[in-house]
Amino acid sequence: MEAERQGLFRRMTPDERAQSKREVLSNLPTGEDVWLFGYGSLMWNPIIQYVERRAGHIFGYHRAFCLRTAMGRGTPERPGLTLGLERGGSCRGILFRVAGDIAEDELDFVWNREMISQAYTPHLMNVRTESGVVRAIAFVINSEHIGYAGKLTIAETADAIATAHGRLGRCSEYLENTVLHLDDLGIADGPMHRLLLQVRARMAELGIKSEDAPLQEGF
């Protein structure tokens, strides 16, 4: 992979991913159901079997396009951006409850997608729901990762998303699909909506036409 060859990406080994998952699960009661919090592509493509889906709200973190990607939705020459949880504010998303007897196996799928590299750190967080607070796994951006983009302006973010394109298609499709599913789920997220308007304006300015195919992959 070109991104790996250029040192822009280091793949975690299967043993490293397994150890990361074990460390998180060791802090949860053995055999009980496990909750997973989705705030980006996990909302519409959780890739796991679950027994309940519920809206949730976390405090102390917000979703942001803060991770550069030189593959999938970008290239080493023009990286795209994907979502992570940054400190500050709050974030609404979707909780998935995974049955305890299959949780360890099902979470393998999640770790193999979200923890390809060490761009995220899995955390256990208190998530508010209409039925009370649940403890859930959420993936927070690793600010020490080589791909961490830092605090970009909305103009910088919009330009990166508008112009990046990789083997999975345009980076803008990821944002389009995120906003679409926030709307479908009744989740108000003004910053994402405002960002989408800026991205569309930047694409129009550059004469870039958005592709119709929605994103169904992770990242």
Q: Which fold has domain 2-150?
A: Hypothetical upf0131 protein ytfp (3.10.490)
Considering the entire predicted model, what is its pTM?
A: 0.88
The per-residue pLDDT for 41 is: 87
Angle among Cα 32, 36, 40 to the nearest 5 degrees reads 175
For 70-161, where are the E strands, in sequence order?
80-98, 120-129, 132-141
Mean pLDDT by 10 residues, the chain (219 residues): 55 93 95 96 91 95 95 90 96 96 96 92 97 97 94 95 91 92 82 94 89 40
- Distance CA(198)–CA(73), nearest Å, equals 18
The per-residue pLDDT for 11 is: 80
Q: What is the per-residue pLDDT across 50-63, written as a single tens digit (0 to 9) for each? A: 999 999 999 999 99
The per-residue pLDDT for 214 is: 39
- Distance CA(79)–CA(63), nearest Å, equals 19
The per-residue pLDDT for 4 is: 54
Domain layout of the chain by residue ranges: 2-150
Q: What is the per-residue pLDDT across 86-115, written as a single tens digit (0 to 9) for each? A: 999 999 999 999 999 999 999 999 999 999
Runs of H (alpha helix) within the chain: 2-5, 14-25, 103-114, 154-163, 171-184, 190-206
The per-residue pLDDT for 9 is: 58
Given a contact cutoff of 8 angstroms between Cβ atoms, the answer to whether 65 and 82 are in contact is: yes
Q: Any idea which residues carry the catalytic annotation?
A: 114
